[in-house]
Structure 1
Amino acid sequence: MTRKDRHRSDPVVHGFEVDCVTLAVDALLPVRMLRTATKSSRKYQQITASIREVGLVEPPVVARDPSNPGTFLLLDGHVRVEVLKDLGIEQIECLVSTDDEAFTYNKRISRLSPVQEHKMIRRAIERGVPEEKIAKALDINPQSVRRKVRMLDGICDESIAILKDKPCPMAVFEILRKMKPLRQVEAAELLVNANNYSVAYASAILAGTPQRQLAEGTKPKRIKGITPEAMARMESELARLQESITSIQETYGQDHLHLTVVKGYLAKLLGNARVVRYLMQHRPEFLAEFQAIADMISTLPPEAAA
């Protein structure tokens, strides 16, 4: 039998049982305890509002306790189960895992970005879901829903593509809207390169934007707390920063490749006892530097890598 045939004959191990089971909420044994502050958190309130309005979307995950037949361990969904208890719901449909390992759940979640949330709300409205129902499900007021629907109005497609999966607050898009499309793209790239999506940083980019690159170029640029002289300095400093980032991006890949090759070569060189002995006798300062490069695990400075 070939290796390929042997792989074909191996049974497929399912991660979950085929059918869900309906269990009493109080019968589930949690594998961890919720923090005291969880119930007062904004996230808990949103989950409560969502379940009350549209029901439970994602069933909790449980595993059978082999040492105690008929008992189920709650692996994932502790907050949802607690909300159900508060709402007086006594039974719940659960997904049964064939493994009792709880580490993997919710450890690699891709959080919904504001752009994705905007598209989700737009699609729901296009399919006839009332704004009031969406607001109740998200535990926000209808005005916030309308703001989320209009969030990308006036934003160019290139900027949306850059920020589509980034945690960019809605207020940042309101700032980008004040810029012309080309400047929006530059601003979006600055946000991504700095990995900073705060409103303060976006406001600084707006303050450093030349008047001709604003959507309303004839209207004087006014930002609270910043004088015209300070804005002029910010414009020039931001322009220099963009030039520096561009020059670094152009050579970063090649420089990193050269450094990796050098690091490997020096590590191999220091593996030769005769070379190390020669450097210790004649160039001890070189030996220390070579060793530091060979042992390097990051190209970032120590304070940034910590």
Structure 2
Amino acid sequence: MAFERASIRIRVEDIGLLRDVSAAVRKTVKYGQIAASIAEVGLIEPPVVARDAKDPERYHLLDGYLRIDILKARGELEVVCLVALDDEGFTYNKRISRLATIQEHAMILNAVKKGLSEERLARALNVNIDSIRHKRTLTQGICAEAIDLLKDKHVPIATFAELKRLKPLRQIQAASDMNAMNKYSISYAKSIVAATPEELLAEPRRKPSRGLTEDQLALMERESATLDREFRIIEKDYGSDHLVLTLAVGYVRSLLGNARAIRYLAQYHPMILAEFQKITEFQAAA
């Protein structure tokens, strides 16, 4: 378990901060959205703290600096927090999952289903009401398999609009390619759509891509298919290749730890020694 079983109410003054929130941060859109959300519907996600090693009645803040700063500005004296079982103040992001696009969509649908109006949601998130309505229909026209592939990814909203132009099978392929490349930008989505055969489009192309002839589009489709096949082959062999490389680098590092080996290489094979040193230095930097 990463947290104590129950959340607890803590005095704000008992929470120690490792850094301050700057005036510039307080002017950002994100800060304004969090402040509007707290004012409208209260604190949704509790801050995360760790107990002080010497005084268990005092705490160190791990996650939630903006929320705590806003609560202080509102004059709040106490806050409900999650208590972590280990202090990872500098690496805590591995415990925190930021809200992905589809998860935000599900949250909005759930809030509306429970009776929260679109107007109040817009005020809580400090956004235009049209944005809320757009997010409500985010996944309409996208198959369940593609949604599942992207459910925990930070995908731009405009990318989903491009996916809707594809048939379900191609949507799954596109989502898989995005995950494999770890690339979800609108430009990448547009390139996938442009390289998609006509029979895999949900509707005929609206107009030819600017500056591209039908022959060029056909060439892009073939090259995309070839690239996809080559990527799958590389992906299949990546694990074993990476293991071999790791073992090889480990051997070179141990070799360079031997003074006699270094003297021999320096005397008879200085260029090889230089390359070995570059390999170990690069591995250390990576």
Deviation string, structure 1 residues 188-212 (Cα, Å, up to 9, x no partner): 1222222221111111211121212
Find the partner of 1:258 among 244, 248, 252: 244
Deviation at 1:137, TM superposition (A): 1.7
Corresponding position: 1:149 with 2:142: no
CA gap of 1:94–1:72, structure 2 versus 1, over 3 A, is farther
Misfit runs of 4+, over 6 Å: 14-18, 61-65, 71-74, 96-99
CA gap of 1:103–1:214, structure 2 versus 1, over 3 A, is same
Unaligned runs of 5+ in 1: 1-13
CA distance in 1, matches of 2:282, 2:251: 13
Find the partner of 1:247 among 227, 233, 255: 233
Matches within 5 A, 1:1-306: 20-21=9-10, 32-58=19-45, 75=61, 77-84=64-71, 87=74, 89=75, 91-93=77-79, 95=81, 103=89, 107-108=93-94, 109-216=96-203, 219-222=204-207, 225-229=210-214, 230-268=216-254, 279=265, 282-293=268-279, 297=283
CA distance in 2, matches of 1:161, 1:147: 20
Q: Tell me which moved more, 260-269 or 275-284.
A: 275-284
- Counterpart AA for 1:173: F
Q: Secondary structure at the match of 1:34?
A: coil
Contact residue 267 and residue 294 of structure 1 kept, 8 A = yes
- Counterpart AA for 1:246: R
Deviation string, structure 1 residues 254-295 (Cα, Å, up to 9, x no partner): 222222333344445556666656555555444444554566
What percentage of aligned pairs have identical amino acids?
Answer: 42
- Counterpart AA for 1:262: A
Please report the TM-score for the alignment, with normalisation by the length of structure 2: 0.76
CA distance in 1, matches of 2:73, 2:15: 15
Q: Secondary structure at the match of 1:192?
A: helix
CA gap of 1:97–1:124, structure 2 versus 1, over 3 A, is closer
Deviation at 1:296, TM superposition (A): 5.2
CA gap of 1:105–1:130, structure 2 versus 1, over 3 A, is farther
RMSD of aligned alpha carbons: 4.1
Contact residue 207 and residue 223 of structure 1 kept, 8 A = no
Deviation at 1:168, TM superposition (A): 0.4
Q: Tell me which moved more, 71-80 or 228-237.
A: 71-80
Deviation at 1:186, TM superposition (A): 1.9
Number of residue pairs matched? 280
Please report the TM-score for the alignment, with normalisation by the length of structure 1: 0.72
CA gap of 1:185–1:251, structure 2 versus 1, over 3 A, is same
